[in-house]
Structure 1
Amino acid sequence: MARVIVGLSGGVDSSVAAYLLKEQGHEVIGLFMKNWHDDSVTISNECPWLEDSNDAMLVAEKLGIPFQTVDLSEQYKERIVDYMFEEYKNGRTPNPDVLCNREIKFDVFLEIALSLGADFVATGHYCRKDSIQKNDQTIYRLLAGIDTNKDQSYFLCQLSQEQLSKALFPVGELTKPEVRTIAAQQDLITAEKKDSQGLCFIGKVRLPEFLQQQLQPKEGVIVEIPYNSSVYNMEEPEFNSTKDRLHWLSRKTSYQPQDGKLVGKHQGAHYFTKGQRKGLAVGGTPLPLFVIETDVETNTIYTGQGSDHPGLLRSALFVKSKDVHWIREDLALNIDGELKVKARIRYRQPLQDATLYSTESGLYVVFNQPQSAITEGQFVAWYHNDELLGSGVIS
């Protein structure tokens, strides 16, 4: 049997992961990652690391496995928090959970585990892994979790073959209720514990306040663009090439303040993201206002009424070559290649029919149906059936 180091987070999923591995006869060690200890920015006791590390320790004690804490807060600040600040400053919306898995759990943490003689690291993610043989090579596949309501494969969309080869996901074959039942049967302290919300390892934060540590408030205007604005009346032109058409489909609509009317003020365009509805503090509209675009250069927020406002919808997106990542490197598209896939642009979004088009400059993802709030800095992930093939940062 293998030596497996489990990332014990103090939650029910990793607790049950550790229990299952021990039942299978593995040598299991629990390791708690302390990645953040600035409580001044959290808004609830939802995810205080002290309580979590205590719960993780009690679970390890109950299961009779060794336990220790590692402080990765320096790497977490460098690789996740600083990156987040930089992205928001540039008017993009990062996904810290995806980055956290790529940069912390399956990189820094994995290295520590391997230095302790581990064969694998395990987490409480709701996803599955298997392997196939192809051209005398072992290829690892990342599959959706059995519980479609909890599937977390999207958060692991940036893992490499090397990282996947060392990963175990013991709860991926179970549903959340089954996991809670096992935890209760084993009398684990985490059995009834609520799932943590908010940023990976930081907990619930008021994003503007969190960002204000680095990004100064700056008053700007909120402009409302009418549903029937002439900026949306562009006829699809004639194209000389497929690439030109793809470029046109994935383009962003550009707005000027004179395209709409001034409806309010805000304290910084970099605090807002596309598709956002709360926090605008503008009332009196028949339908709710949504952010349809932010311009950090001019510090302007553009909004539109209703979730079907044309400013929210787009049918294609682009990923630069350097940001295209294939988990299944053997399936990576050659230039001018195309592939029909299912794709999602955010966690828990139902999978959408789409086609990938590979070009010299990067990858276009064209959806059969227009998508709401395609947001720069977020990840698009593409699947075949329940296998996640690859992902990329939306440009």
Structure 2
Amino acid sequence: MKVLAAMSGGVDSAVAAARAVDAGHEVVGVHLALSRMPGTLRTGSRGCCTIEDSSDAWRACEKLGIPFYVWDFSERFKADVVDDFFSEYAAGRTPNPCMRCNEKIKFEALLDKAIALGFDAVATGHYAKIIELEDGTRELHRAATWTKDQSYVLGVLNTEQLAHCYFPLGDTPSKDLVRAEAAERGLSVAQKPDSHDICFIPDGDTRGWLAEQIDMEPGPILDDQGEQIGEHEGAQAYTVGQRRGLKLGRPAPDGKPRFVLEIRPKENTVVAGSRELLDVDIITGIRLSWAGPPVAEAATGEWFEIDLQIRAHADPVPAKAKVVEDEDYQILVELAEPLKGVAPGQTAVMYQGTRVLGQSTIDSARSRHYQPA
């Protein structure tokens, strides 16, 4: 099999490429240049896609004896990930740029180009598994160990994309074993820190970055009864569930902290209230996609049981869902137990056991205690 190994410059992608070579595949490494002005060095474990990462990816390919290329996807990344990020915040939603990058860059732009060049599959260092059924169709499943499972961020993959995905680390029990294997292979990235935070905001100051991209104006912070309790510097910089940064001028009547309940960008208003009011029971979703064959109930509109996960490292919660024909949303989810701080714009990934069924973008989240305007 002819395999294109996506080389981030980290230890996971390096070992994934090495295993693809060991499996006898014809492997070519490629690093994606996603920024036109990449930083020369990473700051500890913050950020990724820097010149340092590109050099690390090249050294790994040299060690493995495979060709190495750099592909410039910076324009596509800016349009599909960066611009989408601040337009979503400007609309009062909380986007997940890593999901959008996987959807639009790593498993759309990259995969399309790989197939066009004659590659059979794209290999990445994600911790997830693909199971092929007797009829040849593929399903996406959690990795062998849930502590490193990354199936959530792959929930955007569709059936056609799964047919060309290759995840060599899916059965690996721990990251420590991957690092040990990298060291045994003489890969210089064996002890390189994992990247975290948003890659195009490497200092981690999302609010400061948004302030440079979006026109913000001061406005009122209201309580859940509509009474003004403070003032903000720009509603778009807040997200549902946020506690820090509210700077309210008066304490709550019960003396407990307040949290952001709602953002109203058209009114430039933030609503804050008690933690209890963050409980969400009903979620509606848009941009629905299936990771493999849809469940049978998708065609009939019947309810089906799922576990729902709304963040990469969150615990899934039991729920039931049904596909609906509605002009505002495509799927309705009723939670068996409430979730807190669910924000429009987040990604809701559906599971049955270890299988990833698919995902949708949260359009609304409702609570029996508090109804957003």
What residue number does 1:23 align with?
22
Q: 1:124 to 1:195 in 2, by over 3 A?
A: same
CA contact (8 A) 1:141 1:388 kept: yes
Q: 1:316 to 1:338 in 2, by over 3 A?
A: same
CA contact (8 A) 2:12 2:125 kept: yes
> Are 2:238 and 1:272 equivalent residues in the alignment?
yes
CA contact (8 A) 1:335 1:360 kept: no
What residue number does 1:233 align with?
none
Q: CA deviation at 1:11?
A: 0.8
What residue number does 1:365 align with?
333
What residue number does 1:172 align with?
170
> Are 2:313 and 1:345 equivalent residues in the alignment?
no
Find the aligned partners of 1:296 and 1:192 in 2 and give their Cα distance.
44
Find the aligned partners of 1:43 and 1:4 in 2 and give their Cα distance.
28
For the residue of structure 2 that corresponds to 1:104, the secondary structure is: helix
Q: 1:201 to 1:112 in 2, by over 3 A?
A: farther
CA contact (8 A) 1:183 1:190 kept: yes
Q: 1:203 to 1:150 in 2, by over 3 A?
A: farther
Partner residue of 2:161 out of 157, 160, 163: 163
> Are 2:146 and 1:148 equivalent residues in the alignment?
yes
* AA at the equivalent of 2:332: Y
Q: CA deviation at 1:312?
A: 0.6
Find the aligned partners of 1:115 and 1:265 in 2 and give their Cα distance.
53
For the residue of structure 1 that corresponds to 2:299, the secondary structure is: coil
Cα RMSD, aligned residues only: 2.1
Q: 1:201 to 1:20 in 2, by over 3 A?
A: farther
For the residue of structure 2 that corresponds to 1:341, the secondary structure is: strand
Partner residue of 1:313 out of 279, 282, 292: 279
Q: CA deviation at 1:280?
A: 2.8
Q: CA deviation at 1:38?
A: 4.1
Find the aligned partners of 1:51 and 1:288 in 2 and give their Cα distance.
42
For the residue of structure 1 that corresponds to 2:170, the secondary structure is: helix
Q: CA deviation at 1:43?
A: 9.8
Listed as ranges, the gaps of 5+ residues in structure 1 are: 226-254
Find the aligned partners of 1:44 and 1:217 in 2 and give their Cα distance.
29
* AA at the equivalent of 1:169: F
CA contact (8 A) 1:43 1:204 kept: no
Find the aligned partners of 2:249 and 2:60 in 1 and give their Cα distance.
48
CA contact (8 A) 1:96 1:200 kept: no
> Are 2:299 and 1:334 equivalent residues in the alignment?
yes
What residue number does 2:72 align with?
71
CA contact (8 A) 2:303 2:322 kept: yes
Partner residue of 2:258 out of 264, 272, 289: 289
Find the aligned partners of 1:347 and 1:47 in 2 and give their Cα distance.
17
Find the aligned partners of 2:178 and 2:257 in 1 and give their Cα distance.
38
Superposed CA deviations along residues 66-89 of structure 1, whole A, max 9, x for unmatched, are 111111000011111111122111
Q: 1:145 to 1:284 in 2, by over 3 A?
A: farther
For the residue of structure 1 that corresponds to 2:301, the secondary structure is: coil
Q: CA deviation at 1:210?
A: 2.1
Higher helix share: 1
Q: 1:363 to 1:394 in 2, by over 3 A?
A: same
Q: 1:209 to 1:201 in 2, by over 3 A?
A: closer
Q: CA deviation at 1:359?
A: 2.3
What residue number does 1:213 align with?
212
What residue number does 1:240 align with?
none
What residue number does 1:300 align with?
269
Superposed CA deviations along residues 263-295 of structure 1, whole A, max 9, x for unmatched, are x33221111111122333448855443212111
Residues paired across the two proteins, number: 352
Find the aligned partners of 1:109 and 1:300 in 2 and give their Cα distance.
40
**Matches of residues 81-92 of structure 1 in structure 2 within 5 Å?**
81-92=82-93
What residue number does 1:195 align with?
194
Find the aligned partners of 1:99 and 1:347 in 2 and give their Cα distance.
13
CA contact (8 A) 1:7 1:121 kept: yes
Find the aligned partners of 1:201 and 1:63 in 2 and give their Cα distance.
29
Q: 1:288 to 1:62 in 2, by over 3 A?
A: farther
CA contact (8 A) 1:35 1:201 kept: no
What residue number does 2:354 align with?
386
Q: CA deviation at 1:39?
A: 5.6
> Are 2:19 and 1:50 equivalent residues in the alignment?
no
What residue number does 1:112 align with?
113
Q: CA deviation at 1:157?
A: 0.7
* AA at the equivalent of 2:120: D
* AA at the equivalent of 2:238: F
* AA at the equivalent of 2:165: A
Q: Pick which of 275-284 and 8-17 moved more.
A: 275-284
* AA at the equivalent of 1:313: D
CA contact (8 A) 2:162 2:292 kept: no
Q: CA deviation at 1:336?
A: 3.0
* AA at the equivalent of 2:279: L
